Chain A
């Protein structure tokens, strides 16, 4: 009989997806793709919270994930509105060309 899947496996999958998301944020130049990578990182963090919650017999992690998802939904609404606004004003959403706040 095999042992159960240890929590460290889930945590490493979560860490790997988080790191891949971080690579995406750093190397991509498209604001929408960067936004999607951030969503992927949030979801990877959720996976580690659920893992902890399951293996520690607690529901606090589940509730935390619930709130993270709420914040992600609000972030998506406002972030995508900002992209539409940027595109309307500047005709592009490539982050290299959006440099008004750069000194």
Chain B
């Protein structure tokens, strides 16, 4: 696999992802924010492919960019948030300035933490060659249904509770 190709794709998708993230928080129309968020998710899916995680890249596109964003856009349409945006004025209140400063400090801390020691930790057994030989989904499934079986079952109960909660919340009281 060509290294130059990796670099070009990485830089392009990383810049696009950051650009889309900035657009999400600066657009006034929530629909535009949602569409830029879809772009951001797709770029991150490409980064997953560069990191040799095809399974996660696919479910990122299907669940995040597909299912969750479809729900979000559906709710935006349903609530007609669009009408509120005319009264929405962008002004730099003290709270926003403080928020920006706090987020900058957060970013500085994250970068400091990353640069301090890059990925300490023991190497596992799943080398790229082994994953390529086994197949990504097969390797993930072999762990999911053995060592992570209990969290898997808990996740299924969580999803069930989520469904029931959503139905109960949106049901009209009589």
Contacts and interface: CB of A to CB of B under 8 A. Distances in A.
B64 A69 contact: yes
Contacts of A5: 6-7, 10, 50
B90 to A, nearest CB: 9
B118 A11 contact: yes
Given A9-B10, A43-B41, A73-B68, A62 B119 contact: no
A95 to B, nearest CB: 12
A24 B24 contact: yes
Interface in A53-86: 53-60, 62-63, 65-67, 69-78, 80-85
B73 to A, nearest CB: 10
Contact of A15 (B33, B64, B81, B107): B107
A12 B114 CA distance: 8
Interface string B98-133: 011011101100110011001101111111100100
A36 B76 CA distance: 11
Interface residues of B, number: 82
Contacts of A83: 75, 79
**Most chain-A CB neighbours within 10 Å: which of B41, B148, B170?**
B170
**Secondary structure type dominating chain B contacts:** helix
Contacts of A12: 111, 114
B162 A78 contact: yes
A51 B51 contact: yes
**Most chain-A CB neighbours within 10 Å: which of B3, B72, B131?**
B72
A52 B119 contact: yes
Contacts of A26: 95-96, 99-100, 102-103
Interface of B: 3-4, 6-7, 10, 14, 17-18, 21-22, 24-25, 30, 33-34, 37, 40-41, 44, 47-48, 50-53, 55-56, 59-60, 63-64, 67-68, 71-72, 75-76, 78-79, 81, 84, 88, 95-96, 99-100, 102-104, 106-107, 110-111, 114-115, 118-119, 121-128, 131, 139-140, 143-144, 148, 151, 155, 158-159, 161-163, 165-166, 169-170
21 contacts: A13-B18, A16-B107, A17-B17, A19-B110, A20-B18, A20-B103, A36-B33, A43-B44, A56-B119, A57-B125, A57-B127, A57-B128, A59-B131, A62-B56, A67-B151, A69-B63, A78-B166, A80-B75, A81-B170, A84-B78, A84-B169
3 closest A-B pairs by CB: A58-B124, A26-B99, A74-B162
